[in-house]
């Protein structure tokens, strides 16, 4: 009778053991998939930010050419031109790494520098109104058109970044996937643009 009792207990133990093993493997597999998924989301944020920086850099290069063109027609507007040049130099000092994207303050500093450049550029473009020959200059018109296109691309790149950050941050708030990604994958939430920064006025480039 004792042997008959031992057999069911043995098989019950084996079933429990197998279920435990399958559970551990299942949890491990699910955890790996969660981490890998959030790694992709994190990389999407980094890639989206790279596009934001590329478009801002393109704008900075265009502004440098604009300043040189305006200088040829309005050299005595030195104060306005110097403010644009100084604001452009300040922007160049801000380099946002993937780690910096974890810091709202770092992104805020970058945006403040960009906004200062936008305001200085707007003042310079107002000065252009006083120079009909400059407004009709083909080089200036080409730069003006490129600047307008770049401002549009900046807006698109910013929106793509905002969406990438939303996908990552909202996912990280979910349980258990977000908890696993944070604690075992080391994935952190990323900073996004504030509502005020999103609606920042772009420089007027139409005449």
Q: Which residue has the higher pLDDT, 6 or 166?
A: 166
In tens, the pLDDT along 64-78 reads 999 999 999 988 899
Q: What does the buried/exposed string (b/e) look like for 2-12 if buried means 16 or more CB atoms within 10 Å of the residue's CB?
A: eeeeeeeeeee
Domains and CATH numbers, the chain: 41-198 (1.20.1440.20)
Contacts 24+ apart (CB under 8 A), 71-78: 73/131, 73/133, 73/134, 73/137, 74/127, 74/128, 74/130, 74/131, 74/134, 77/124, 77/127
* Predicted model pTM: 0.84
Backbone angles phi, psi at 130, to 5 degrees: -85, 0
Q: What is the pLDDT of residue 195?
A: 54
Q: What is the pLDDT of residue 59?
A: 95
In tens, the pLDDT along 132-181 reads 999 899 999 999 999 999 999 999 999 999 999 999 999 999 999 999 99
């Amino acid at each position: 009778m004792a042997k008959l009792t031992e057999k069911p207990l043995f098989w019950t133990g084996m079933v429990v053991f197998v279920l435990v093993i399958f559970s551990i493997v299942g949890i491990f597999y699910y955890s790996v998939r969660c981490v890998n998924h959030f790694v992709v989301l994190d990389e999407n944020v980094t890639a989206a930010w790279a596009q934001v920086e590329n478009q801002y850099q393109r704008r900075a290069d265009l502004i440098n050419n604009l300043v040189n063109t305006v200088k040829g027609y309005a050299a005595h507007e030195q104060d306005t031109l110097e403010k644009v040049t100084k604001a452009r130099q300040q922007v160049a000092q801000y380099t946002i790494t993937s780690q910096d994207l974890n810091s709202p303050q770092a992104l805020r500093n970058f945006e403040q520098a960009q906004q200062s450049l936008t305001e200085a550029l707007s003042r310079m473009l107002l000065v252009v109104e006083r120079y009909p020959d400059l407004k009709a200059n083909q080089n200036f018109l080409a730069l003006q058109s490129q600047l307008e296109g770049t401002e549009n691309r900046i807006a698109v790149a910013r929106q793509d970044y905002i969406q990438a950050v939303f996908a990552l941050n909202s996912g990280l708030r979910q349980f258990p996937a977000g908890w696993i990604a944070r604690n075992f994958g080391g994935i952190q939430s990323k900073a996004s643009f504030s509502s005020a920064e999103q609606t920042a006025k772009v420089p007027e480039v139409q005449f």
